[in-house]
């Protein structure tokens, strides 16, 4: 009691973040703090604004309003620094089918400007982490969806990012591959990487340290999953999700704005 509270290092800090496309407000007033080294699940129905928010935080899309610091960099002033220090994997990740696993990894190493000993070390570390050694000579075209996803993850973390951003990484992947993928993600977080992951799978969301629930472009709840369920007195995340959607389901307010 009375001792100094150690400041928590934040990987993401955003306040009132919003994005308009013309007169349409896709995302509005998103605020949260994500401590470094934690996993945040981002959930919400289709079209809620997950990808739009993620793109602003990755320095890919300039916000229309609000502020955000990602790994200490400002999304308006330092988007290039953000892009260099994060790993970003989307659902439609890009791998070259007619190259081998190793050639794909080397290609991404080139994009990140890795060379010499650093490149060799980064590659060896990544291949070991993702357990890809036995597949290095295989053509990507001949891999299953689950293995392709692991190769895409390898390419996203090759440069040792402090923040890994995954936009629906496991959509359409079989349950066993999903489980393996999440074991890797949790291991990366244990080693200090911060992870922001959007998902429609509540079993995945359940294991995150923090959850953000976005609906009609607004972050309507943020916190540890257990706290969120307790706050609304719901037994499962499925129940909580349905409760939020039914509670908030009026006409999409984004359609009325800006008219
Ligand atoms: N470039 C754009 N121009 C106009 N509207 C856009 C653009 N990008 C996204 N939107 C709209 O913004 C809203 C939020 O879309 P977003 O892709 O962020 O949702 P999402 O939560 O990621 O959905 P999903 O789960 O389907 O991927 C949607 O209504 C979408 O149509």
CATH number at residue 185: 3.40.50.300
Query: Is the shortest distance between the CB of 54 and ligand 1 below 6 Å?
Result: no
Does 231 map to a domain? yes
- Closest-lying ligand 1 atom to the alpha carbon of residue 19: 12
Q: What is the pLDDT of the chain when averaged over all its residues?
A: 91
Q: Whose CA is nearest to atom 29 of ligand 1?
A: 47
Q: Classify 130 as helix, strand or coil.
A: helix
Choice from 21, 245, 251 to test ligand 1 binding pocket (greatest atom count within 8 A of CB): 21
Res 138: pLDDT: 96
4 domain-assigned: no
Domain count, the chain: 1
Q: How many whole angstroms separate alpha carbon 39 and alpha carbon 42?
A: 10
CA 220 – ligand 1 centroid, Å: 17
Q: What does the alpha-carbon distance between residue 99 and residue 102 come to, in Å, rounded to a whole number?
A: 8
Note the pTM of the prediction, 2 decimals.
Answer: 0.91
Domain that holds residue 54: 10-255
pLDDT value, residue 247: 83
Q: What pLDDT sits at residue 22?
A: 94
3-state secondary structure at position 172 = coil
- Domain membership of residue 132 (yes or no) is yes
100 lines ligand 1 (CB under 6 A): no
2 found inside a domain: no
Tell whether ligand 1 has an atom less than 6 A from the beta carbon of residue 50.
yes
How large is the ipTM?
0.95
Classify residue 5: in a domain, yes or no: no
Q: Is the CB of 170 under 6 A from ligand 1?
A: no
The answer to the question of residue 93 being in a domain is: yes
Number of neighbours of residue 53 by Cβ within 10 angstroms: 29
Residue 3 lies inside a defined structural domain of this protein: no
For residue 2, pLDDT beyond 60 = no
């Amino acid at each position: 009691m009375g001792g100094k509270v150690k400041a928590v290092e934040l990987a993401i800090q955003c306040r009132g973040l919003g994005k308009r496309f013309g007169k349409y407000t896709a995302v509005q007033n998103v605020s949260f703090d994500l401590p470094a080294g934690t996993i945040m699940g981002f959930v919400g129905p289709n079209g809620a604004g997950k990808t739009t928010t993620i793109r602003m935080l990755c320095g890919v899309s300039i916000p229309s309003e609000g502020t955000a610091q990602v790994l200490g960099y400002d999304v308006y002033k330092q988007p290039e620094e953000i892009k260099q220090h994060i790993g970003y994997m989307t659902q439609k990740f890009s791998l070259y089918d007619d190259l081998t696993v190793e050639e794909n990894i080397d290609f991404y190493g080139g994009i990140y400007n890795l060379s010499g000993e650093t490149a060799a070390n980064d590659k060896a570390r990544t291949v070991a982490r993702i357990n890809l050694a036995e597949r290095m000579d295989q053509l990507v075209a001949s891999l299953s969806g689950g293995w392709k996803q692991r190769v895409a993850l390898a390419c996203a973390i090759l440069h040792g990012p402090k923040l890994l951003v995954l936009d629906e990484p496991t959509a359409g992947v079989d349950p066993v591959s999903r489980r393996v993928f999440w074991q890797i993600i949790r291991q990366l977080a244990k080693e200090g990487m911060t992870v922001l992951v959007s998902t429609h799978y509540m079993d995945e969301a359940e294991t995150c340290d923090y959850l953000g629930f976005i609906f009609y472009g607004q972050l309507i709840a943020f916190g540890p999953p257990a706290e969120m369920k307790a706050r609304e007195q719901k037994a499962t995340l499925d129940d909580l999700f349905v409760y939020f959607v039914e509670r908030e389901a009026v006409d999409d307010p984004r359609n009325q704005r800006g008219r």
